[in-house]
Structure 1
Amino acid sequence: MVLAPTMAAASHPEVSLPGSNFEIDTDANLKVDDPAPSIDWASVAETRKQDTASGPTDESFGQGSKEDTAVPSVVDGSIPPNKSDLKFFGVYQEGTTATGFLNLFWSRVQDPQGTTNMDFEFNQSSTLSSNGVTPVRTAGDLLIIYDLSQGGTNPQLFIRRWTGSAWGPATDLTASNLATGSINTSNIPAADSDGLGGQSARTFGEAQVKLSALFPNPNVCAGFGAAYLKSRSSDSFTAALKDFVPPVPVNISNCGSVKILKVDDAGTKLAGATFQLYADNAPVGGSRGAEDTLVAGKSCTTTLPTGSCTITAVLQGEYWVVETVVPPGHEGAADQHVTVTADSTVELTFVDPRQRGAILVTKLRKHVADGAGDHPHAGVDFTVNGVTKATDANGQACFDNLLFGSYTVHETTPANYQGEADKNVTVNNSASCADTPYAGETVTFTNTPLSKITVSFESQVPGGTAATIACTGLTATPPDGTPSAFDDTSETFQDLIPGTYTCTVVIDP
């Protein structure tokens, strides 16, 4: 949780840094002592880690482990009686990394009657080292040091950075007014301990560090994903490490991220969409222009099943998120403007409409009265995807708003014409019927007019002769029930396509 600071006025002794609402009490405690907007550990949702209870399973660092030991040895049940047996530690970020504060606390079982030396380590990596407990160190990891002399009440705060092989030189944060801290000089009753349990004097300490001290270069992304607390056996930095509270995940960064969800117009998640980040240079907002520049290395591609991807380690600022690769069968989405702040994730949804096309049906017919060749045929019904339309004077009917895919075009054949069978058309071009020029799919149906032949016979002498009538390959309408009998006077053969037909009339001799 990150709380934007609003300056609070303290009515009891505090050593909080200017601009912070967090109570770093002179006599350290966890309860809120002043009116809002003051806050303290009991009123915030900090990241907290409890140590393993004292005993044979309580982990600590083995003999010989020091701060510069990249992979300290971890042992159980060896907390020395004269040094801190740790209980808890907590981390709370107040405000942004530019102007906010990192608040820390530690607690221990007893006061060891010596110096108090607590080191808070912050690691960029969450990958465990070979000891299986502490993270692998990365150059730039942080060590915030809380040193308090025997009987003292004003700790000194220092910071060191991991060089890759050892901790670098210490920077005095207290002397630079970049940090402050305190210890409890009186007992903290269990009722006021926010779940830590009763704390006797000098067993609870807190510290506050300006976040800008952790991120000195605002133009370089840095982030820390794990933190843990450890104690040293003396105020010498090379002293042996003793107890520690195991690492806990944290999210402290001077950069943000952009999470993108990709769906189509039906809400289906999509993979294969690539997004690129552009810096929104002045003038900010409006629409992306030539002045806006590509941010190198800041892109991502969506995958299933989530249909999402995240652009990470983005410096604070104004940006355009641009879809540069569109999934097949979809239209790209418009650019979206985004404001990225430190230690936060902005979520955007891009909707790529499914591409739609059109089918233009052309209906032709042979019509001798209009001249040779084929001619447009108006008024013929066609059905596509459940929609029926009649051809116009140009013999055309157009169907659009069709999702990419395969469609069946069905003709309702008009009477006295021979139609064509259904035709399958694949729609894979983005188009509408109104496009000029038309860029969609086309299909043509040609109908043939049908004819009928009637053959008649009549004896000039009533009852004088009889005949049979037959046309090769044709069946009369209605069918001739006695084709061999000389009883035909007229036979009709219909639904004939253009061609040559042979009919035979046999008159009874």
Structure 2
Amino acid sequence: MPHTTRIRTPEERAAFRRRCLRGAAGAGFLALVGAVVIGGPAQAVNPAGIISLDGSNFEIDSDANLRVDNGGWDDWASVSYVIKADVESGTGDDSFGQGSKEDTAVPSPVTGSIPPNKSDLKNFGLYLEETAGDDFLHLFWHRVQDPTGTTNMDFEFNQSEVDSGNGVTPQRTAGDLLIQYDLANGGTNPELFLSTWVASGDKSLCEAANSTPCWGVRESLTAAGDATGSINTSPIPAAEADGLGDISARTFGEATVNFSAIVGDDCVAFGSAYLKSRSSDSFTAAMKDYIAPVPTGINNCGALVIEKTTKHAADGPGDHPQAGVDFTVTGGSLPAGGQVVTTDDNGRACIAAIDSGDYEVTETVPSGYAVTSSNPQTATVVQDTDCSDDPTVTFTNVPLTNLTVSVDSQVDGGTFSSIECDVAGSDTVSLGDMMDDPSITIDDLEPRTVVCTIVIDP
């Protein structure tokens, strides 16, 4: 289908801002942790040649570059940002093949040189600027040469850390982001669009595919005032390229997206991001070169990790993981009725990508066990944690035992017996009961020593 540009109504924009996108952040490569800063006071008016978004102190130059041109501002050369280089150009360069398109959930990586009239990528970078107002996501791409035709770069942000099956890209989950950087042939001002991954629903939700899952109908971030960008019309010398080497004209592009406008004020966690180029401005065009995913460090969510142990004599002394135990978690950003999670073989259960704060955790104690820890417990979730972190709360159980004590007189009525055990509340039998075959049962005993006194009296 042709490109569509839909400007959101105020109500739609408000709902869009409230959307909370989930996931767990990855680890490895360069982490954005430490690169996220609280910006200074927002600049009221952009200096000459600066086309940055209101509220951002990061320079987006009308002639894109990496150096700081104005006092009190930042640019790529003055911040610590995530950067990932492509595989060296040539026969070993990786790209997408076999007709892989944006809606292909598991694209096919291949090796081989990129056609000279297409965007052969070199590097991409990202940086998250936090301010007292909105947060801003800054992006750049860097390519080998200025190709003929349009420039179409897509930055994909994924929440999942699970491999999609091709050994390169993660599985897509609902709410993943695709930020599209489109530049007309010979143009200098790109238009930026946003699509989110739609996991299910009617095909009308899709930008181009005939069925879900798909990338949703794209929205123009530029038209909404939520993005800005540029390309370098002048060469950038190596001395001003922050380690990228000499950069020819029209081979470096940068952009800023108002991240708060996209994801709202709730927690967000994107484990990785990667850059890819399309062969034309059609959304259904084949994807070409890509730079493999890099961890972003974008995670202001937390994880609630439950650890469950029990005693089990056959497994030896000490505590052992207990699988299959249900817990109900309420509070925070969870649904009103709470969420039920079940411990795995390691005795752990986790709810990832939730808002920081306090939650109540209640164990459904399995039959045959007693809980020996507090139940329920308050769990405090902190930002930038995931399911691999130490447990937030720990619950312990012990197995229960039923004890039966009985007397069997060999001569009917030949003896009477009494039974008394040192368990508070347990039944007793006295001699006055005149029972020749008395018996008592004490249920649900936790591990302990039990002393029972039996008197046999003829």
Please classify the TM superposition score into its range, dividing by the shorter chain length: 0.5 to 0.7
What is the match of residue 365 of structure 1?
none
- SS of residue in 2 equivalent to 1:42: helix
Could you say if the C-alpha distance between residues 74 and 165 of structure 1 is closer, same or farther in structure 2, counting changes exceeding 3 Å?
same
What is the match of residue 181 of structure 1?
229
Unaligned runs of 5+ in 1: 282-291, 356-425, 430-439, 445-509
Post-superposition CA distance 1:225-270 (Å, at most 9, x none):
332111122222233322111222335457432456899xxxx998
Distance, in Å, in 2 between the alignment partners of 1:22 and 1:68 is 32
Could you say if the C-alpha distance between residues 303 and 102 of structure 1 is closer, same or farther in structure 2, counting changes exceeding 3 Å?
farther
User: Which of 358, 369, 372 is residue 319 of structure 1 equivalent to?
Assistant: 358
- Structure 1 position 238 matched with structure 2 position 265: no
Shift of 1:211: 1.8
Q: Which amino acid aligns with 1:208?
A: T
Tell me, yes or no, if the aligned pair for 1:24 and 1:207 is still in contact at 8 Å: yes
Distance, in Å, in 2 between the alignment partners of 1:34 and 1:205 is 19
Could you say if the C-alpha distance between residues 71 and 348 of structure 1 is closer, same or farther in structure 2, counting changes exceeding 3 Å?
closer
Distance, in Å, in 2 between the alignment partners of 1:231 and 1:72 is 13
Larger gyration radius, structure 1 or structure 2: 1
RCO comparison, higher one (Cα < 8 Å, 6+): 2
Distance, in Å, in 2 between the alignment partners of 1:137 and 1:338 is 29
- Structure 1 position 256 matched with structure 2 position 302: yes
Could you say if the C-alpha distance between residues 27 and 344 of structure 1 is closer, same or farther in structure 2, counting changes exceeding 3 Å?
farther
Distance, in Å, in 2 between the alignment partners of 1:115 and 1:294 is 49
Tell me, yes or no, if the aligned pair for 1:179 and 1:210 is still in contact at 8 Å: yes
User: Which of 4, 7, 18 is residue 54 of structure 2 equivalent to?
Assistant: 18
Shift of 1:58: 0.3
Tell me, yes or no, if the aligned pair for 1:59 and 1:243 is still in contact at 8 Å: yes
- SS of residue in 2 equivalent to 1:191: helix
Shift of 1:97: 13
Shift of 1:349: 6.0
Could you say if the C-alpha distance between residues 310 and 293 of structure 1 is closer, same or farther in structure 2, counting changes exceeding 3 Å?
closer
User: Which of 104, 109, 118 is residue 74 of structure 1 equivalent to?
Assistant: 109
Tell me, yes or no, if the aligned pair for 2:182 and 2:191 is still in contact at 8 Å: yes
Q: Which amino acid aligns with 1:176?
A: A
What is the match of residue 28 of structure 1?
64
Tell me, yes or no, if the aligned pair for 1:229 and 1:244 is still in contact at 8 Å: yes
What is the match of residue 296 of structure 1?
338
**Matched residue count:** 346
What is the match of residue 123 of structure 1?
158
What is the match of residue 441 of structure 2?
none
Q: Which amino acid aligns with 1:320?
A: Y
Shift of 1:203: 1.1
Could you say if the C-alpha distance between residues 177 and 75 of structure 1 is closer, same or farther in structure 2, counting changes exceeding 3 Å?
same
What is the match of residue 427 of structure 2?
none
Distance, in Å, in 2 between the alignment partners of 1:138 and 1:196 is 33
Distance, in Å, in 2 between the alignment partners of 1:279 and 1:256 is 14
Q: Which amino acid aligns with 1:68?
A: D
What is the match of residue 206 of structure 1?
254
Shift of 1:6: 3.4
Shift of 1:149: 1.7
- SS of residue in 2 equivalent to 1:15: coil
Instruction: Indicate the structure with greater strand content.
Output: 1
User: Which residues in structure 2 correspond to 1:432-443 (within 5 Å)?
Assistant: none
What is the match of residue 245 of structure 2?
197
Could you say if the C-alpha distance between residues 334 and 19 of structure 1 is closer, same or farther in structure 2, counting changes exceeding 3 Å?
farther
Tell me, yes or no, if the aligned pair for 2:379 and 2:393 is still in contact at 8 Å: no
Shift of 1:3: 2.7
Shift of 1:277: 3.9
Post-superposition CA distance 1:109-142 (Å, at most 9, x none):
1112432111112233333344433333334332
Q: Which amino acid aligns with 2:237?
A: P
Distance, in Å, in 1 between the alignment partners of 2:87 and 2:160 is 23
Distance, in Å, in 2 between the alignment partners of 1:147 and 1:334 is 53
Tell me, yes or no, if the aligned pair for 1:139 and 1:161 is still in contact at 8 Å: yes
What is the match of residue 45 of structure 1?
80
> If the length of structure 2 is used for normalisation, what is the TM-score?
0.61
Post-superposition CA distance 1:6-38 (Å, at most 9, x none):
3343655322222223222222222334445x4
What is the match of residue 41 of structure 2?
7
- SS of residue in 1 equivalent to 2:246: coil
Distance, in Å, in 2 between the alignment partners of 1:158 and 1:309 is 38
Distance, in Å, in 2 between the alignment partners of 1:349 and 1:125 is 22
What is the match of residue 167 of structure 1?
215
What is the match of residue 13 of structure 2?
none
User: Which residues in structure 2 correspond to 1:459-478 (within 5 Å)?
Assistant: none
Post-superposition CA distance 1:67-92 (Å, at most 9, x none):
23333333222301112110011222
Could you say if the C-alpha distance between residues 344 and 99 of structure 1 is closer, same or farther in structure 2, counting changes exceeding 3 Å?
farther
User: Which of 313, 331, 339 is residue 279 of structure 1 equivalent to?
Assistant: 331
- SS of residue in 2 equivalent to 1:214: helix
- SS of residue in 2 equivalent to 1:162: strand
Shift of 1:172: 0.6
What is the root-mean-square deviation of aligned Cα atoms in Å? 4.2
Unaligned runs of 5+ in 2: 1-32, 199-211, 310-317, 399-444, 454-458
Distance, in Å, in 2 between the alignment partners of 1:329 and 1:350 is 14
Post-superposition CA distance 1:415-455 (Å, at most 9, x none):
xxxxxxxxxxx9956xxxxxxxxxx98899xxxxxxxxxxx
